[in-house]
A and B are shown apart, each in its own frame.
Chain A
Amino acid sequence: MEDNIIICRCEDLTLADIRNSIKKGFHNPQEIKRLTRCGMGPCQGSTCRELLLKEVAVASGKSIGELEMTTFRPPTKPIKAKSILMEGDQDEE
């Protein structure tokens, strides 16, 4: 069952993957993100961040508010390199 529940769509991580990390002793969402890539894909954790936090909260007996949130990284939405280039070149002129 846990193998069929997808937590992170971009990185194809299941509930079993996340629970395995927690079982290994990782009780900080940042650590799990760095070791599994959960939330590092193109959507930047828009779905999985909260699911991950909830799993860690349940396992560690803490409330979600007590956990260290994974970092929100710019630019939030994917931007084509050439668009950045175009905008920047205009500003330079």
Chain B
Amino acid sequence: MKNKADAVIIGGGVHGCSIAYHMAKKGWKNIVLLEKGTLACGATGRSVAGIRHQFGTEINIRLAKESVKRMERLEEELEYDGSIELMQKGYLMLAYSEEELDLFTCNRDLQKQIDPKNLTEILTPEQAADLVPGLNLEGLSGASFNRRDGHASPFHVTQAYADAAARLGVDIRTGVEVERVIKEGNRVTGVVTTGDEKISTSVVIAAAGAHTKKFGDQVGLDIPVIPERHQVAVTEPLEMILGIMVISFAHGAYFKQTPHGSLLLGVGDPEHEVKDFNERSSWQFLYDVVKKTTFHWPALREANIIRQWAGLYDMTPDSQGIVGKTEVEGFYLDLGWSGHGFQLAPAVGQIMAEVVSGETPFIDIDCMCLERFQRGELIPEPACV
């Protein structure tokens, strides 16, 4: 094994793999990616993997626009021999009060101001029901919809980036856990694995979700991120009845149907969740998710639930990612996406590659730096669960 690298990436989720690919494409040699489990085994693979333009802050709208564009051509760009299972039939956000609908309208206006070609539209409850036959209109004030949004398979998107990165020479090691990041003076000099292997490097990129906090502590940076469990239930495969993804922020619930036919029903319970690394699903969740999603879509009552799983959001105080360089030389961060990170990995991977290479990134991500928390310059994202 090589014990020297030009860069070490910690985390084999969709962000780590996207960064690896974009760095290798830029000409970086000798990149090592370390993943403690298997690729996409953490937050990435447990995500429902929605993709949308419909955000409420300028930075996310820009990142989303570029990311969706790349997702549309991803199989081609990465020469993937499988399918990323992109379904791009739209994403519907249900509003359960006039205030919520006003917020969606403001978000739409901001999206159009940034990109005049943005397709987000505000729908009446009846128009929403045309998209989801049998949608319960009770309490519904309206909805936001963008037909260029959708969802994909988080496993295949990650694998596509990993395969492309490996072809460009990235050394991807799964089953290797980083124990600590070594800092000498004010710069990183390497990492040590739990197997006591040392890899010397002057560049460490930490993309390990909520686990990244510990690496921050080791180099003297306080990263305000906490894990928050969210859960998903899966139905048996059904005829294709729902092309779009549906979400309700008011109820913290979302659902989609995969091209394979099964419906994925997701719910989080931030108020009652213990903030730890528990990734096991719970029986209480099963009732909660069925109660909420059958309220939105009563026809679901007849569906068989076949399995359930849990995963961790990496929550930050303003529900926004933490991206870019830090006060510690050679130590870079990409984490904290608070439940909407999967879909932004295409653009963020490129941005990270540019930042690490000392270039000006193609989207300015200064507002997402770690120091914003000290300075009190939070950028709360209103459009997330």
Residues of A within 8 A of B (CB): 28, 30-31, 34-35, 37, 40-42, 44, 71, 73-75, 78-82, 84-85, 87-88, 91
Contacts and interface: CB of A to CB of B under 8 A. Distances in A.
Contact of A74 (B38, B39, B304, B307): B307
A30 B41 contact: yes
A87 B290 CA distance: 11
Given A79-B305, A81-B301, A88-B291, 17 more contacts: A30-B38, A30-B41, A31-B39, A34-B38, A37-B260, A40-B234, A73-B308, A73-B309, A74-B283, A78-B304, A80-B303, A81-B290, A82-B302, A84-B305, A85-B294, A87-B287, A91-B287
B306 A78 contact: yes
Contacts, number: 79
Contacts of B41: 30
Interface in B284-299: 286-287, 290-291, 294
B304 A85 contact: no
B38 A31 contact: yes
Given A74-B307, A88-B291, A34 B155 contact: yes
Nearest to A88: B287
A81 B305 CA distance: 6
Contacts of A87: 287
B291 A44 contact: no
Contacts of B235: 81
A34 B40 contact: yes
B304 A79 contact: yes
Given A28-B38, A30-B38, A31-B38, A81 B302 contact: yes
8 smallest CB-CB distances across A and B, nearest first, come from: A88-B287, A78-B304, A82-B301, A73-B307, A34-B155, A84-B290, A81-B290, A78-B306
Contacts of B304: 42, 78-81
B300 interface: yes
Looking at chain A's contact residues, the main secondary structure is mixed
B377 interface: no
Contact of B287 (A31, A41, A84): A84
Contacts of B217: none
Contacts of A75: 286, 305-308
B156 interface: yes
A41 B304 CA distance: 11
Given A28-B38, A34-B45, A34-B155, A44 B286 contact: no
B196 interface: no
Contacts of A34: 38, 40, 45, 155
B237 interface: yes
A81 B307 contact: no
Interface in B158-174: 159, 174
Q: Which of B155, B302, B308 has the most CB of A within 10 A?
A: B155
A28 B174 CA distance: 10
A31 B163 CA distance: 14
Interface in B209-253: 234-237
A44 B40 contact: no
Given A73-B309, A79-B305, A35 B156 contact: yes
26 contacts: A31-B38, A34-B40, A41-B306, A42-B236, A42-B306, A44-B307, A75-B306, A78-B236, A78-B305, A78-B306, A79-B304, A80-B303, A80-B304, A80-B305, A81-B235, A81-B290, A81-B301, A81-B302, A81-B305, A82-B301, A84-B290, A85-B291, A85-B294, A88-B287, A88-B291, A91-B287
A34 B13 CA distance: 14
Nearest to A30: B38
B281 interface: yes
A74 B281 contact: yes
A81 B39 CA distance: 32
Contacts of A81: 235, 290, 294, 300-305
Contact of B290 (A71, A74, A85): A85
A34 B237 CA distance: 16
A30 B303 CA distance: 26
Contacts of B159: 35
A84 B300 CA distance: 12
A74 B233 CA distance: 10
Given A35-B155, A85-B294, A74 B260 contact: no
